[in-house]
Structure 1
Amino acid sequence: MSAALAETIARDAADGRAGEYDLAGFGEAWVDALVEAAFATPTRAKGGFYASCKFIVGGGKKTRAKYDDEVVKHLTAALRARGFEDDRGASACEACQGTYKYQHDTDKDLKYLHVFPRVTHEAEGGEAAAAAGGTQSPEYRACACDLEEFERLVEMYCPSFSQKRALLRRMKVMEHALGALEQKVIAMESLNDREQTMYDSMVEVAAKIEFLQQALDDMIKKGRLTKGEQGEIVEDLELKLEDLNLMVNEANEEGKPKRAEMLESKKEIVVKKIDSVRAKPPIVYTVPHERELLDLKKELNSLKKIAAQSKGKLMSGADAAKCANIPKLEERIANLENSEEKGWYEDECRALLFPPVAEKKAPAKAKASGAKTNSGWLTKAAKGGSRGGGGSAKASSTRGPSNPFAMLGDD
């Protein structure tokens, strides 16, 4: 039964399909065998496709009896044993390979575990490992530089918790790809040019990943998190607490008091982390040009509306003069949105980093168009005034966005 389902999963991935699989009747042994057969090694997938496996693991009164009460515990334990991580924000993309997340669909009254396996892309002629990150991508650049340069890049381009975590996810994919190449070398298999380039360029990847993980822990301890980041971390920790509760119950049922005691101590640490995150005031980022962008987009939408209403009609001279500015407005907006001041993965993390700006009248007259604007992010506590003054001389001498945390100090 496990082998047949694993073959179905493999066929779906090879054909580029995201499948849904019912685990009714599966016990611990079958679940472990399924995970071993389907996910112990990277899944062969259609070129450019990142597999997503949606397992039905339970449901309401009508379907509850079909499922082992502990199938979720067995499945997550088997996945963790093979290097998978719980990620509430995971999706079928390159950065989320090797993750899983739980979902309770109240509309269908079904419980799911979504698994996002690591993949190799057969359509790329065996080059999947080398293609884990393009050579121009931030993660490739981060993996290819030396450790000192890497730390500088992280400070410049990944100042926030969310950006660091996005980079960490991608670097873990790169690390896995590098491991696949190392296995080919050990097996005396030849590497193509693209794979050889990647294999030769990767430097101290494990040490860089360890540095990022430590940096994330430090940011949590020091409270350098936005309100959105705090909420996401608390959700992750609460899920971890649920997993620990399941493992404690399992240890007690198996008569392993020492293991149960060890797990209880881990639970206490998680609870303290949750309390610590909630207790600290969130920081707030503001970005340059944000108000200008809002005004420009509002003006652009207004002019486009005029142009649309005048389509097929003779436009007045005043309206024609106004609409002639549409290309200039679009160019200005594009320049601001694609500014080099923007850090890595900022767009991806925007919802967690920047709260929506309320539409309100400006309290003061806008600056003249030729006035110099502040570059980089500004950081302040959610409550109270700004922490510190402008950026340091060191920050101003480097390229890229200034580090907002330089204004927070080391407290």
Structure 2
Amino acid sequence: ASIRSSLESSTFDLSGHDATSIQSITHDAFSTPFPPLDQMIRITFVVGAGKLSRQKYDAKAMQILTAALRELDYVEDRGAGCSFDCAGCFKTQHDTGKNLFTVVVFPKVSGGGNASNNASGDANEEEEPLLPTNSPGYKIAVCSISTFQSLLSSQCPTYAQKRKCMECIEGLVELLQSIENKLMGGHPLDSAEQSLYDEIGELKEKLAYTQKEAAKHVDEGLLTVQEKEMLVEMNQKRIATLMKEKSSAAVAEKLKKALARKEYLQCLTDEKLSSLSSTYPPSLRHEGKLTPLRKKLLPLLALEGKAKGGFLTLAETRALTEKEEIESEIEHLEEASYGWFEEEDAFEERLQKSRDKFNAKYAKKSGGKASAKKTSSAGRSGGGGNSVNKWVLPGQKQKGGWETAGGKKSSAKGKGGSVFSAMMLDDSSSDED
């Protein structure tokens, strides 16, 4: 009842609700249109969180909620905003700052809403941008080539991340082409399209630079075993495709290069790649800040152990009050070291490597191990596991908030996408740049 009585945008937490409860809540709230509203509202459902709170939510809460909405003829629209034009739409989001997964619903409204207030409602609330302004995709799209080169080095330090960055840029190229096609067809751009069109630039140069930097990893053998396996699979598909093409000098030359790459990859044995583990993958982005904090934490851990066996002095008690603050800062810096397009498993491996390296050097001397609380920087990954929903990249088959060349919004029911969610995610580590 509280959902249907909402007169302004509201948030509802679905922690503790099972599949049956979520389906019932969705049906009760959205099976019939809301009463007339002066302006469109958004109903936000929190359906998941990071590892600290993940157990509070049904593992398939997002999937269950979105499926229930589709059964009620709600349509997924990545660009939906607080406008009566978006009534009957929903979208999934990930707030990496709070590490929460949400589903935002724009309810159907009786009579299509208060038309007299529709324009004012749109004016009062700014139209949502095509790409969140603090997301990796937006930053890549609008930054200068020199800034991009710096960001690629710090935010995409591995081969796998650079490959995903290339896919992100290719998606941006398709988005730009779609906007230009709309202009060529004589259709005006909406404010979100116009804003991005005015800011986006140098995509071909950024793509070429990323391709060159990714190639360096291969040429220099700076790969993990998993990255090599990915390259071997790509190479096999490349050779199979070329073998099916009509014979020509150009095809023969391409096949020659592909076979040479196959031979080179065979020389990169797992043992050889494992021997580089001390230098690749690279250390955490904020390793320099983490080390002194971890060192500062060590004596406090020892002091905490002493507290369990007896009384502490007043000075020791005061010192222990810093422990939680230091642990929180360590956790923050570890999470801020997550790459833009990094898989969760790959980051966890780098994080554990950082902790093990510190403990081997410092912890044995003090009899403790310094690290953040048993948490993980989950939620920032580009495609790890099923905990992060897949976002549809602009330019793919499923359209988002931008319109087609004909000026008509897609009405197809969204079914998610398979490209990298991180492009659209909020980059909460921006304050660490």
Greater RCO (CA < 8 Å, at least 6 residues apart): 2
Please give the range of the TM-score, normalised by the shorter of the 2 chains. Answer: 0.3 to 0.5
After TM superposition, the score normalised by the length of structure 1 is 0.45
After TM superposition, the score normalised by the length of structure 2 is 0.43
